[in-house]
Every structure is written in structure tokens, then in C-alpha cells.
Amino acid sequence: TIADMKGVKQGRLRIAAVTTTKYFMPRLLGPFCKQYPGIDVALEVINRNRLLERLARNQDDLYIMGVPPEGLDIECEPFMENPLVVLAPADHPLARRKRIPFAALGSEPFIVRERGSGTRLTLERVFQEHSVPLTIRMELGSNEAIKQAVAGGLGLAVLSQSTLSLEPGEKDLRILDVVGFPIRRHWYVVRLRDKPLSVVAQTFLDFLRSHVTLLSPRAPQVGRAASRRRHGEW
């Protein structure tokens, strides 16, 4: 468009992002939208399976997810750490132990995300790799609800560290020191390889690359990564 040619960043940016990104995506969009007031962002927050459907139908410009699919003609770029941690209620006996062997998780009930969630997929894969049985006490479609269920003593959970903001109530939760955890993963920005990038999509990609590369999932402010890393905050 003429606006693009003049270098005025204008237009609609469509992003689909998995459920767990709700802890940082809206906050990232704050400074982006301030910098580019002409860009109108539509953010769709859904689980991994629904995101893959949107990707297959070419419904958005960019997709944000933790477990990119195999066998699709896509470009995917990691832009932020996305570790998975084991959560327990603060008064759980394992909460005081160090270097808990993975096998100990086999005798604990778990509160898990719904099928179709990337978190659930990774959880099942990891238990399978360790040949440890996964006992599912309850399935819940929301990270928030899972944290509350864990705090309430219903079981343990494996969730992205991105879900742990410093909210009131989180004093009831502990991250367990299980061997093999945190599981190191990343958040990826994904797009269809054949789809030409619009100027606004390119602008957002550049924004992610230049501002967010080393960002800690626990501190989703823009541009503070280097100092946080130096201070060992993750």
C-alpha cells in the first residue's frame, strides 16, 4: 500500500498465540503498540491444537507457541525461554527435598492441561521418556485453575514457568527440585514459509528480535534481559 511505501507502519496484524502466552503477550504488545500506533493488533489466544488449525488455514500473520509442529512448511524462530517446572502445594513433603529423583513423580497424582495443549503434550512425552507412569487426578483447561487446584492440595502439576507471575496466592505454591527439571524449552514465533510477510508482520518480528531475545519468562518487560541474566534471576 501507499502507506507502506512511505514507511508509515499501518494496518492490521493478526497473531494467534497459545493459552500460556497470555502471561506475557499482552504486556509485550503494550510497548509495540505505543511505538506503532498505526498498527492494529488482533490477538487470538487458544490452545496448541486450535492454533495449528488456524495455521493450516493461513488465518493469521504470526503464531506464538511452545511446541512447533513437525512436517509443515514453516519458519520458526525461538525468542524467549519457556522452562517447564513441577509445582506442588507449599506444605507438600517433597517441597523440602533436594534433587528429587524423577521416578518419585510416578507415585504422585497430577493436575494436567487438556489434550491439545502444548504443555500436556510435553508432560506426556517427558514421562514416557523416563518410563514413569503419569497418574492424572484431574484435567483442567486453564493454567490458573491448575495452580489453584495444586495450591488446594489436589496434586502436582507441570506448567510453564511463564504462568508464575508474582501474584498473591502464589505463596501457596512451590517449585520442586526434581532431577531433569526445569525442562528447557523456548517460545517460538512461527509463520508459513510461503506466506509473504506484510510490513506490519515484519515490523513485529523485528520488534521481537531486537527487544525480547533473552527475556526471562518471569519478567516480561522489554529490554531488561541482559541485566536479569547477569543477576542470575533465572
Q: Which of 162, 161, 116 is nearest to 139 (CA)?
A: 116
Can you tell me the distance from the alpha carbon of 221 to that of 186, in angstroms, rounded to the nearest whole number? 17
Smallest gap from residue 67 Cβ to ligand PGA (A): 4
Pick the stretch among 62-70, 88-96, 164-172, 203-211 that binds ligand PGA (CB under 6 A): 62-70
Instruction: Write out the three cell numbers for 89.
Output: 502445594
Q: What's the chain look like in SS3?
A: CHHHHCCCCCEEEEEEEEHHHHHCHHHHHHHHHHHCCCEEEEEEEECHHHHHHHHHCCCCCEEEECCCCCCCCEEEEEEEECCEEEEEECCCHHHHCCCECHHHHHHCEEEECCCCCHHHHHHHHHHHHCCCCCEEEEECCCHHHHHHHHHCCCCEEEEEHHHCCCCCCHHHEEECCECCCCECCEEEEEEECCCCCCHHHHHHHHHHHHHCCCCCCCCCCCCCHHHHHHCCCC
Question: Does residue 119 belong to the site contacting ligand PGA (CB under 6 A)?
Answer: yes
Is 29 or 140 the residue whose CB approaches ligand PGA more closely? 140
Question: Does residue 216 belong to the site contacting ligand PGA (CB under 6 A)?
Answer: no
Smallest gap from residue 117 Cβ to ligand PGA (A): 3
Which of 66, 155, 182, 217 lies at the binding interface for ligand PGA (CB under 6 A)? Answer: 66
Which of 118, 155, 182, 220 lies at the binding interface for ligand PGA (CB under 6 A)? Answer: 118
Binding string, 3-22, against ligand PGA, x = CB under 6 A? Answer: ---------------xxx--
Which of 9, 14, 92, 113 lies at the binding interface for ligand PGA (CB under 6 A)? Answer: 113
Pick the stretch among 7-15, 59-67, 126-134, 205-213 that binds ligand PGA (CB under 6 A): 59-67
Question: Does residue 161 belong to the site contacting ligand PGA (CB under 6 A)?
Answer: no
Is 121 or 154 the residue whose CB approaches ligand PGA more closely? 121
Which of 23, 39, 112, 117 lies at the binding interface for ligand PGA (CB under 6 A)? Answer: 117
Can you tell me the distance from the alpha carbon of 71 to that of 86, in angstroms, rounded to the nearest whole number? 30
Smallest gap from residue 17 Cβ to ligand PGA (A): 9
**Amino acid at site 56:** A
Is 39 or 52 the residue whose CB approaches ligand PGA more closely? 52
Is 47 or 199 the residue whose CB approaches ligand PGA more closely? 47
Binding site for ligand PGA (CB under 6 A): 18-20, 47-48, 65-67, 82, 113, 117-119, 160
